[in-house]
Amino acid sequence: MLAEAQPVSFILTAGRSAAKPFYAGALGLTIVAEDDFAVTFALAGGAQLRLTDLPGHQAQGHTVLGWAVADIGAAVAELRGKGVTFKIYEGFGQDGDGIWSPPGGGAKVAWFCDPDGNVLSLTQFG
């Protein structure tokens, strides 16, 4: 049953007033609903993302949501043009755009944060 259901992802935020414009503006996600508890955005393929308030929320250091992109260089450039800053992790050997290529090739990954510090990513699969 769940293999055919549309997924809903949740990202916690300490304050939607700062996070909502980031997801709608910088990331270009369409708002489909909003209530006292969350703002819901449309994702590809009918999936949805609920940005949910949690007072005192503290972001963790791991990726909470990512997107598969066809051209990571173009996606990074587009988001940079909208003010998104990409993370550089010490010792990862990322390029000047913050794109990491693992030894031996394969996927390329770039990480960035929302206003709460939640880590998001872009991945171009090999």
Question: Over its length of 126 residues, how does the chain's per-residue pLDDT go in tens digits?
Answer: 899 999 999 999 999 989 999 999 999 999 999 999 999 999 999 999 999 999 999 999 999 999 999 999 999 999 999 999 999 999 999 999 999 998 888 899 999 999 999 999 999 998
* CATH architecture of the domain covering 2-124: Roll (3.10)
Report the alpha-carbon distance of residue 108 to residue 7 in Å, rounded.
Answer: 24
- Are 116 and 14 in contact by the 8 Å Cβ rule? The answer is yes
pLDDT for 126: 84
Beta-bridge partners for 4: none
Report the alpha-carbon distance of residue 51 to residue 65 in Å, rounded.
Answer: 12
E strands present in 1-126: 8-13, 30-34, 38-42, 48-53, 63-68, 99-100, 108-113, 119-124
Q: What are phi and psi of 81, to 5 degrees?
A: -65, -20
Length of the chain in terms of residues written? 126
Say how far residue 15 (Cα) sits from the centre of its chain. 17
Return the DSSP state at 75.
H
Domain-wise residue ranges, the chain: 2-124
